[in-house]
Amino acid sequence: MKKLLFLVVAAAAIIIFPIVDRNMYHLYLMNRALIHAILASGLVFLTGFAGQISLGQAGFYAIGAYSSAYVTTKLGAPIIIGIIAGIAFSVLAGFLLSIPSFKLKAFFLSLVTIAFGQIVWILVINLTPITGGPYGFFGIPFYSVGKQMLSFEQVFWLLGAVLIFCIYIMYRIKHSHFGRAMLAMNDDDVATASCGISTKKLKIAAFGFSAGLAGLAGGLYAHLAGFLSPEPFTFFESSNFVAMAVVGGLRHMSGGVVGGVGLTLLPEFLRFGGWENYYLMVTSLIVIIIIIFIPVGIGPLLENLVRRVFRLKRSNTKTL
């Protein structure tokens, strides 16, 4: 249970935040941050644990968002069904994208995933009857229970609960025979196969899982925003998601959460009066500095800080 301390601290922070900070814009940003945290956690799973690369996560994010928007708006299904449909379509696309990973590695695999992201983006722009194309998709229902719409605070708690549930699932899988096999494959796939493990099945599962989380994030975003346009689904966003996972810590459970929240909020802290043109540049610079000087990521540093505060044994930053 001590290993899950980080989750308990995160849960406490999620519960307290909207009570302490009543600013609506801050809350909206934090909602976006939690959605990014879910998506970046999926990348931690795929890249940090299973050793596969995806620079096309925005594609799954789009599939989740537009599927859920379509199913709820055009077919009149409840939001929960829409989100589940979004996850299902993303997972299927994830299974398909895992096929090139049987043969391709690193650089070549990342090119294929970029191409995948681009294909989805082009479909989003051109399939106007379904996606609304560049004009956007309007009228997506907001979170509600019965006829009562949820407040931003309640949505924040809902997203927080979903995030913690996802992290818990990841934690369980990582510390099981499946997780060990994935970490082994990350180190050496020939040796993993010699241990009787089908690396193809593992790759299919890892791509499916991370695509599922991206699809879930997409669905959650669609109902939060109420309106979809193609911008959040570009290649730029895909690389931003990878940056979140790397800055947070690719090999750590907390990496996606810390990176997702951190990189969503960082540009906001840098919006000084008169310097608006430069804040994105500074954000990128900070990302580069973190990657060079703290290659394990910010997540493990925070985990150790939490442990120190609670006077627990320091974890091994390499293998947690």
Partner 1 sequence: MDILRTEKMTKSFGGVIANKELSITIPQGKITALIGPNGSGKTTFINVVTGVFPLTSGKVFFKDLDISSMDSSKISRMGIARTFQKIRLFENLSVVENVLVARKSFYKSGPISVVLNTPGYRKEEKENFEKAMELLSLVGLEKYAYDSPTGMAYGLRRCLEIARALALEPTLLFLDEPAAGMTRDEFKVIMDMMILLKERGITTLLVEHTMDFIKAVADWVYVLNFGQVISKGLFTDIERDPLVLKAYLGEE
Residues 242-281, one symbol each (x = binds partner 1 by CB under 8 A, - = not), give ---------x------------------------------
Closer residue to partner 1, CB minimum distance, 38 or 184: 184
State the greatest distance between any 2 C-alpha atoms of the chain, in Å, as a whole number: 61
Q: Which of 22, 147, 177, 313 binds partner 1 (CB under 8 A)?
A: 177
Closer residue to partner 1, CB minimum distance, 86 or 212: 212
Site for partner 1 in 49-108 (CB under 8 A): none
Counting residues that bind partner 1 (by CB under 8 A) gives 27
Q: Transcribe 45-111 into DSSP letters.
A: IIIIIT----S-HHHHHHHHHHHHHHHHHTS---HHHHHHHHHHHHHHHHHHHHHHHTT--HHHHHH
Q: How far is the CB of 180 from partner 1 (least distance, A)?
A: 5
Interface stretch with partner 1, choices 8-16, 167-175, 238-246, 281-289 (CB under 8 A)? 167-175
Q: Which of 181, 204, 214, 228 binds partner 1 (CB under 8 A)?
A: 181
Q: How far is the CB of 263 from partner 1 (least distance, A)?
A: 25
Q: Which two tokens stand for residue 29?
A: 């940003």
Site for partner 1 in 187-246 (CB under 8 A): 187-188, 190-199
Is the distance from CB of 208 to CB of 60 less than 8 angstroms? no
Distinct helix (H) and strand (E) counts, the chain: 14, 2
183 scored as a contact of partner 1 (CB under 8 A): yes
Is the distance from CB of 226 to CB of 142 less than 8 angstroms? yes
147-166 burial string, b = 16+ CB within 10 Å, else e? eeeeebeebbbbbbebbbeb
Q: How far is the CB of 246 from partner 1 (least distance, A)?
A: 17
Q: Which of 159, 184, 290, 302 binds partner 1 (CB under 8 A)?
A: 184
167 scored as a contact of partner 1 (CB under 8 A): no
Q: Which helix (H) or strand (E) holds 149?
A: strand 148-149
Residue 228, classified by CB atoms within 10 Å of its CB into exposed (0-12), middle (13-18) or buried (19+), is buried
Q: Which of 105, 176, 269, 272 binds partner 1 (CB under 8 A)?
A: 176
186 scored as a contact of partner 1 (CB under 8 A): yes
Q: Which residues pair with 148 in a beta bridge?
A: 145
